[in-house]
Amino acid sequence: MRTISWSGYKWDVRPAGTDQGPGPNDWSDSRRNVRVQGSDLLLSIVTGATGNWNSSEVANQRHLGYGTYRWVVATDLSTLDANEVLGMFAYGGADPSNNEIDIEASHWGSLSNPTGWATVWQNADAGLSKQRDFSYS
């Protein structure tokens, strides 16, 4: 598995392969799709054409727990393609993780949908979750 160093941590890059959700995309661990530029900029780039996208995912090797996290996104998220997703997650580390926090920027297949979505899963098995959509400007 490819590893990158960014923001003071080591991150695993999801291995390349097909038939892994969510989709429709193929995961890529290529430097073309995910790389660090300079000392503080993480680039995660969707590539491909004709309906076959190559996307990337990174996961911190450390479970940092809950707290206050700040992400600075240099892309205008309101201009995402209808099927692109930027997901930022905090998991409790247990398997299955029943205490997950998701913040996602996506139109979920339709440009008329709001751009953002936040979900707090208290217990996924029991269907306990709080969800809210929002728009970026």
> pLDDT value at position 61?
93
Condensed to tens digits (0 to 9), the pLDDT of residues 102-112 reads 888 888 889 98
Q: pLDDT below 50 — which residues of the chain?
A: none
pLDDT given for residue 34 in this prediction: 95
Q: What is the pTM of this model?
A: 0.82
Q: Domain residues of the chain, as ranges? A: 1-62, 64-137
Backbone angles phi, psi at 77, to 5 degrees: -65, -20
Stated as kind and residue range, the H or E segment containing 10 is strand 9-13
CA distances from 23 to 8, 56, 81 (A): 30, 12, 14
